[in-house]
Chain A
Amino acid sequence: MDFSLNDDQQRLIATARKFTKEKIIPVAQKLDEHGTFPSEICKEGWELGLMNGEVPQEYGGLGLSTLDHVLMQEEINFGCAGIGTTLAGNNLAAMPLILAGTEEQKKNYLGQLTDSCSFAAYACSEPDAGSDVAGMRTTVRKVGDEWILNGIKRWITNGAYANWYTTFARTGDATDRHKGITCFVVPRDLPGVSVGRKEDKLGQRASNTCDIIYEDVKLTKAHLVGAEGQGFKVAMKTFDRSRPWIAAGATGIMRRALEECTKYATERKAFGQAIGQFQAIQFMLADMAMKYEATRLLMLKAAWNIGQGKLDAIESAYAKAFGADSAMQVATDAVQIFGGYGYTKEYPVEKLMRDAKLLQIYEGTSQIQRMVIGRSLIAAASAGV
Chain B
Amino acid sequence: MNLYDPLTANLTHYLFFTGKGGVGKTTMATATAVKLADAGKRVMIVSTDPASNLQDVFETKLTNQPQPVPGVAGLDAANFDPIVAAKEYRDRVVAPYRGVLPEAAIQNMSEQLSGSCTVEIASFNEFAKFLTNPTIDQRYDYIIFDTAPTGHALRMLQLPSAWSNYLDHNQEGASCLGQLAGLGKQKATYQKAVETLNNADLTTLMLVTRPQRASLIETKRAAHELAEIGMTNQRLIVNGVLEEPTDAASQTIYGQQQADLRDMPGVLSQLPSAEVPLRAYNVTGLTNIRALLQVQQPTITVQSGQHIAFPSIDRIVTDLIREDKHIVFTMGKGGVGKTTVAVQLAKKLSAHHKTVHLATTDPADHLSLFKIDDPAITVSHIDEQQVLKDYQDDVLAKSRQTMSADDVDYIAEDLRSPCTQDIAVFRAFANVVAQSDSDVVVLDTAPTGHTLLLLNSTENYAKEVKRTTGEVPQAVRDLLPRLQDAKQTEIITVTLPETTPIAESLRLNADLERAKMPHKWWVVNQSMLAVNTTNSILQARAKGEMKWIDQVKAVSNGYYAVEKWQSNYEQVNLTV
* Bound together: no
Interface residues of A (CB under 8 A from B): none
Q: List residues of B whose CB falls within 8 A of some A CB.
A: none
